[in-house]
Structure 1
Amino acid sequence: MRKDALENRQKILTIVRNLLDKQDLEQINMKQIANTADIGIGTLYRNYENKSALAMDLVYDDMEAFIVQSEHDLQKNNVENNNQFKIILTNYLNFREKNMSLLNQVENNAKQVSIFYQSDLHQKLVNIFKQAINELNPHSNAQELTFKADMLIAMLKSDVYSFERTSRNLSQNKILDNIINLFK
């Protein structure tokens, strides 16, 4: 990617992060982003075809940080197996809480979800959960671990997670405890 294109992408991301301090992503439109960034609407759309693609880029750094921290946590041999899973799951729930509106925007766009499922980042996320689940279920084979990791990620998608938090009135800790019990 050209230097000016990279600079535009960074500028766009910075502008949107600043806008998100004042309003939800749903309230921000592409024209407002272009105007605030002082770029043409065409430039914005060349970089991001929609808000879902923009949201994915915004959440990417936090997800990468979660993955790096989780890999580090999994390498610790002095933590009880159940606690490794609990630590990683707690961190993932914190990541989801922090990025709820961005993740919701991504997950409501089928094309963006498909792109994410095919990404290296998604595979890293699946591998993190496979390793953590393997600590609880050491007799599971690779296919079973992949399935369990996929189902864990699916059941924590924004709409389901939000429903459990708001309609079912479950705290983050209660959701955590319930999930741990499912995987024991």
Structure 2
Amino acid sequence: MGKEPTSLKLPREEINRRRILESAKELFIEHGVEAVNMHQIAKMAGVGQATLYRRYTEKGDICIEVVREECQPLFEEIDSYLDQPSEETALERLYQVIMKFIAFLEKRVPWLCSVSRASSGYRPFQSPLYQWMRITCRRLLQEAVDTGEASAVDVPYTVETLLATLFNIDFHLKDQGFSTEQILQGLQRIFIDGLKN
């Protein structure tokens, strides 16, 4: 790890936070989330165990922040897209969000999917990535239902079903050998065309 530029004059706590997250990310990519422990992260970041544990009580806490930081560009891109005036319907915008989400994750498979799962322990859909996606998709699908574009479906449950499919994107791409096009076409048939009135 190189020295932080002194012109930034970041507080030591922020410098340590950045070192910890960068080190954790690097270790997760190289070794997999399960194989990495807190001691390895502290050692690579060049911080003491006490410093690490003052900020993060367990590896899952680090995973949450890694996911949040890694996904921030995706959140900003989609929020910007949705804030623009558009002639597209709510379902068309929902499909665009799904496409952007998959394109983003595809470049980071499998490490980000593993980190996202580890960030929330036994509650896999509570990671920052899926919480954000849940809110965004519910809003768009509810809009589609309210305007009569989509049939009157149970919006929360339908979105959870969509998230369950997206959650396994790394398995679909790597283990099952599905192409991105297959996945997107299937999602469009089920969650976009299948919901239209």
Q: Same fold (TM over 0.5)?
A: yes
Q: Which moved more, 1:59-68 or 1:174-183?
A: 59-68
Would the alpha carbon gap of residues 46 and 111 (structure 1) be closer, same or farther in structure 2, given more than 3 Å must change?
Answer: farther
Separation in structure 2 between the aligned mates of residue 84 and residue 115 of structure 1, nearest angstrom: 22
Give the match's secondary structure for 1:77: coil
Which of the numbers 45, 56, 60 marks the counterpart of 1:52? 60
The structure carrying a bigger helix percent of its residues is: 1
- Show the counterpart of 2:24: 16
- Show the counterpart of 1:144: 154
Separation in structure 2 between the aligned mates of residue 114 and residue 177 of structure 1, nearest angstrom: 25
Separation in structure 1 between the aligned mates of residue 58 and residue 119 of structure 2, nearest angstrom: 9
Report how far residue 91 of structure 1 moved.
1.1
Quick check: 1:59–1:99 contact (8 Å CA) kept in 2?
Answer: no
Q: Determine what percentage of the aligned residue pairs are the same residue.
A: 20
- Show the counterpart of 2:93: 84
Which of the numbers 167, 183, 189 marks the counterpart of 1:175? 183
Q: Which runs of 5+ in 1 are unaligned?
A: none
Letter in 1 for 2:111: S
Separation in structure 1 between the aligned mates of residue 110 and residue 160 of structure 2, nearest angstrom: 19
Quick check: 1:59–1:103 contact (8 Å CA) kept in 2?
Answer: no
Q: Which runs of 5+ in 2 are unaligned?
A: 1-10
Report how far residue 28 of structure 1 moved.
3.2
Quick check: 2:62–2:119 contact (8 Å CA) kept in 1?
Answer: no
Deviation per residue, 1:91-148 (Å, 9 max, x gap): 111232326323323424654747936x7x7554222112343565543699822222
Which of the numbers 61, 78, 101 marks the counterpart of 2:111? 101
Which structure's CA Rg is the greater one? Answer: 2
Letter in 2 for 1:165: L
Separation in structure 2 between the aligned mates of residue 178 and residue 67 of structure 1, nearest angstrom: 24
Q: Indicate the RMSD between aligned Cα atoms, in angstroms.
A: 3.3
Give the match's secondary structure for 1:156: helix
Letter in 1 for 2:96: I
Quick check: 2:67–2:112 contact (8 Å CA) kept in 1?
Answer: yes
Separation in structure 1 between the aligned mates of residue 70 and residue 60 of structure 2, nearest angstrom: 16
* 2:77 corresponds to 1:69: yes
Q: Which runs of 4+ in 1 moved over 6 A?
A: none
Letter in 2 for 1:93: I
